[in-house]
A = this chain, B = another copy of it.
Amino acid sequence: MKLQGNAVVAQSGGPTAVINNSVCGVIQEWLKGDPPGTLYGALFGIRGVMEEHMLDLSRQPSHIIEGLRYTPGVALGSCRYKLDREEDFSRLLDAFKKHGIRYFFFIGGNDSMDTADKINRFADKVNYEMRVIGIPKTIDNDLPETDHTPGYGSAAKFLAATVRETGLDLKGLITSNRIVVLEAMGRNAGWLTAASALAKREECDAPHLIYLPEVPFEREKFLEQVSEVYREYRFAYVVASEGIRYPDSGYVFKGRGKDPFGHVRLGGLADTLKGIIEEELHLNVRGISLGTLQRAAAHFASRTDADEAYLVGSAAVRAALQGETDIMITLLRDESAGTYRCTTGTVDLSAVANVEKKVPLDWISATGSYVEDEFLDYARPLIAGEVSPVIKDGLPDFIHFQDFKIPELRRELDRDAASVIK
């Protein structure tokens, strides 16, 4: 018999252009047929459960639920909060019990899958029956056991389009700025950076050089490679992951401070590489740093990616209602019919938690500065198809949930936070 009880869906970590498609998939699948309880949305991630800020999602109008399909960002709000103290788990379980929550859908990446796994184990320990299902999401594409991760295809598509457009800009212009360095997100895995190679159609097209965190960055070799491209074309387009490191493991760019998970904050790599090239080669460089636009550009999202993000959301609900728990939904590539299609599978959360999948070294050129065709064949189907953004007054229009007052709730959640500006 189906476990009776309510459900909560939460978004965790950074947004993607299509993460709200997963929320939409959860809601629409849950409301089908005869749901065993009410579906809540946790506001600002796991903190929304612990501090009991939740929305009854079945009361949201259908046009808002449908609008999740084209709205980037995290419609329910999200946080980066490391759940590791016993009292955090107790507090969470108390909230689950108080609100009769038996189903927990957690949309996130590596850190979040670890959190979901711990929640499942804690519930087990205290004999509280639950269904805990992880829904994969990350533009980094670094989750193991799944062919790829929802969010990646759209980030890859936008990044590659950016390189095509700015590469063409560079190619046609004889001016002092002859080199472009584009910094892409990616701390330890170069999947997104590698996707820039999809932009190239002719030999002289951008990108010319691609640097991934999987390969130690050698300054002299880098300068030689840039010089060589420059000699050939009189311009050069470089794409590099923010997380590239020197052979001694030190980041090429190191930011200030660490995030709540203890990861060093990155960013500013474009300026660092610009400095190296200008100083040594006396060529002018323009840096491009798209920042969060890489994960937010829903106006040019991948149709394939948006649909798959929806798919993993709905599959999570089906799995939970069938009695599964402590699993993450995976994407399975099926090319048996000669064309790309994708179905879903499941994997134990413990197999995913905190494991990072990197770009295989044999998909990276021997020079360490480009990718092989195997990578392109893997990535190309993931950027296929376009979405139709909803436009109002010339700009993308978005939905937001009713009764979710963002500034008010941010201020409330921030009360205890350390901040110099109260």
A→B interface (CB under 8 Å): 14-15, 44-45, 47, 71-80, 157, 160-162, 164-166, 168-176, 180, 182, 198-199, 204, 227, 230-235, 256-257, 259-260, 265, 267-268, 270-271, 274, 278, 281-284, 286-293, 295-300, 302, 380, 383-386, 391, 393-396, 398, 406-407, 410-411, 413-414, 419-422
**B231 adjacent to A422 (CB under 8 Å):** yes
The one of B79, B171, B175, B289 that contacts A73, using a Cβ cutoff of 8 Å: B171
Min CB gap A74→B, angstroms: 4
A-B CB contact pairs (8 Å), 28 listed: A14-B169, A14-B173, A72-B168, A73-B165, A76-B172, A79-B173, A79-B175, A80-B175, A160-B395, A161-B395, A164-B396, A164-B398, A165-B299, A166-B291, A171-B406, A180-B291, A182-B291, A230-B421, A231-B421, A256-B278, A256-B284, A281-B421, A286-B292, A287-B291, A288-B292, A288-B293, A289-B289, A380-B394
Instruction: Report the bound CA distance from A176 to B418 in whole Å.
Output: 11
Please list the 4 inter-chain residue pairs (A to B) with the smallest Cβ-Cβ separation, ordered nearest first.
A73-B168, A288-B291, A383-B394, A234-B410
The one of B172, B199, B227, B288 that contacts A290, using a Cβ cutoff of 8 Å: B288
**A157 adjacent to B394 (CB under 8 Å):** yes
CB contacts (< 8 Å) of A168 on chain B: these are 71-73, 296, 398
**B281 adjacent to A291 (CB under 8 Å):** no
Q: Chain copies in the assembly?
A: 2
Instruction: Report the bound CA distance from A50 to B17 in whole Å.
Output: 48
**B291 adjacent to A286 (CB under 8 Å):** yes
A72, A169, A296, A383 pick with most chain B CB within 10 angstroms: A169
Given contacts A299-B300, A302-B394, contact A174 B78 (CB under 8 A): yes
CB contacts (< 8 Å) of A172 on chain B: these are 15, 44, 73-78, 406
**A296 adjacent to B169 (CB under 8 Å):** yes
CB contacts (< 8 Å) of A232 on chain B: these are 407
CB contacts (< 8 Å) of A413 on chain B: these are 174
Instruction: Report the bound CA distance from A171 to B420 in whole Å.
Output: 20
Given contacts A14-B173, A422-B231, contact A385 B394 (CB under 8 A): yes
Instruction: Report the bound CA distance from A421 to B226 in whole Å.
Output: 10
**A259 adjacent to B175 (CB under 8 Å):** yes
**B396 adjacent to A174 (CB under 8 Å):** no
**B256 adjacent to A174 (CB under 8 Å):** no
